[in-house]
Structures are given as structure tokens and as C-alpha cells.
Homo-oligomer: A and B are copies of this chain.
Amino acid sequence: MSIELWYWPDIPGRGEFVRLFMEGAEIEYEDMAREQDADALVEHMHALDGIRPFAPPYIVDGDLCIGQTAHILAYLSDKYGLGSGELETDLQLIQLQLDISDLISEVHSVHHPIASSLYYADQMDAAFERAQEFRANRIPKFLIHFDNAMAVHGGPYSLGQQWTHVDTSLFQVMEGLDYMFPNYMKKMQGTWANLEGLQAALPEIDGVADYLASERRMEFNEDGIFRHYEELDEQ
């Protein structure tokens, strides 16, 4: 039985972290709301009983319904035996995935510093200040952390020659930041060499290569998490 993925159909967003991992690992899944529409997702989510996900993405695997991106990835990695097979390292990979979740939340609040319920246009001044601080302090702090982590097993992947859920997520982070802040990321080129190495190496994985060349791969856009607004980039 294939995994059901439930996520908003028109943005890569957090769903893309789950999708990219399943594509790389060639796990069979159905992209439910893309086969139907956003209404089907809302309807499905409201019909769930018991302890429900707070928000998409979530997956349904037989009787199990699992929300929270990092949690989904830890579950799938474990189920399909795609971790290190060693407790200490597997815990560290989950920890890194949770660090990535924190970064992604901060990325979203760059263009929505006041309220996710308001339009970007209604919080542009605060977003401008927030973006400056984010580029100056937060991106370097997070990416140095991830770059160091990538060096631990020698690269190019998080476990050396073996890739994990951390690698597909960090690839998506680097692609997203390149889209969001092209000037800034170009200026910083070479600073996070291990992450750039990963970014180059990940598309060599068969499942990833097929996926990136397919229509299933969605482009970043200004309704998602990584958004390009020229005024928020390095000038």
C-alpha cells in the first residue's frame, strides 16, 4: 500500500521536504491534494478524528496519520531502513531535521513578521528590517551549523557516501535560499562549501534526478515559504 501525502497543491512549502525524500528513496506515494484540490485536503483534514495534525503536511500510512515534517521524515526513514542503523547517529539526524524545521519557520516569518494572516504588502516595513537581520545573523548561524554537521562523516552526504532525510531537506533549504536571496547567496558563495557540495551531489541520486526532471517538481513561488521579493535581498 502506498503512502498518502496530504499537502497544499499549489506551493512546494513544507510538503516538498517530504516529497523530495520519498522521491529520492523511491517510496511509492500518492500526492492526494494534487490529484484532487485544496478543498479535498481541507475536507480530509477536518474528517480526521482523534489526535489530529495541526496543519499539513501529513501522511496517512494504513491506520497511522502522522503530521509535522520532521516527524514524518523520521518515521519514513525508520520504516524503510534509510537511517544509519545506529541509535546515536539516528538521533542526531532527527535533531538536525528539527533544526531545519526551526530555520524554515524563521524563513516564513521573514516575509510575515507581524502576522501570517496578513498580506506581505501590509507588513513590508517590518519585513524589510527582519530580512536584513536574517541575512546578517540567522542564515550564517544556521548554515555554519549545518555545514559543520555535513563534515562529520566526510561528505558529500550526511553519512558520507550514504544520504539520508537530512540531505534532501538541506538541498531544499539551499535551493530555497538561492531563490529567495539570489544576490546574498551569490555574495556568500564558498562560505558553506559542504552544503554547496551536497547541493551539487544530491541530483546525482537516481530518484532525485528523475524527480527534478519531472513535472511533479514544483517551482518556488510567492505563495510558498521561500519567496523572492527583490527588496528583501542584498542590494
Q: Once the chains are docked, how many angstroms separate the CA of A235 from the CA of B101?
A: 34
| Residue contact B152 to A137, C-beta cutoff 8 Å | no
Report which residue of A50, A89, A148 has the largest number of chain B beta carbons within 10 angstroms of its beta carbon. Answer: A50
Report which residue of A63, A114, A142 has the largest number of chain B beta carbons within 10 angstroms of its beta carbon. Answer: A114
| Oligomer copy total | 2
A98 cross-chain contacts in B, Cβ below 8 A: 68, 70-71, 98, 101
A-B contacts, 20 listed (Cβ < 8 Å): A51-B93, A51-B95, A51-B96, A52-B149, A54-B102, A67-B95, A68-B94, A68-B98, A71-B98, A75-B91, A109-B109, A109-B113, A113-B114, A113-B130, A114-B126, A114-B133, A115-B137, A117-B137, A126-B126, A126-B129
| Residue contact B70 to A91, C-beta cutoff 8 Å | no
Name the distance in Å between A168's Cβ and chain B's nearest Cβ. 17
| Residue contact A152 to B51, C-beta cutoff 8 Å | yes
A105 cross-chain contacts in B, Cβ below 8 A: 102, 105
List the B residue with the shortest CB-CB distance to A122. Answer: B129
Interface string of A83-109 (1 = CB under 8 A from B): 000011101111110110110010001
Q: Once the chains are docked, how many angstroms separate the CA of A41 from the CA of B99?
A: 19
Q: Once the chains are docked, how many angstroms separate the CA of A118 from the CA of B67?
A: 33
Q: Once the chains are docked, how many angstroms separate the CA of A53 from the CA of B102?
A: 13
List the B residue with the shortest CB-CB distance to A125. Answer: B126
A94 cross-chain contacts in B, Cβ below 8 A: 68, 71
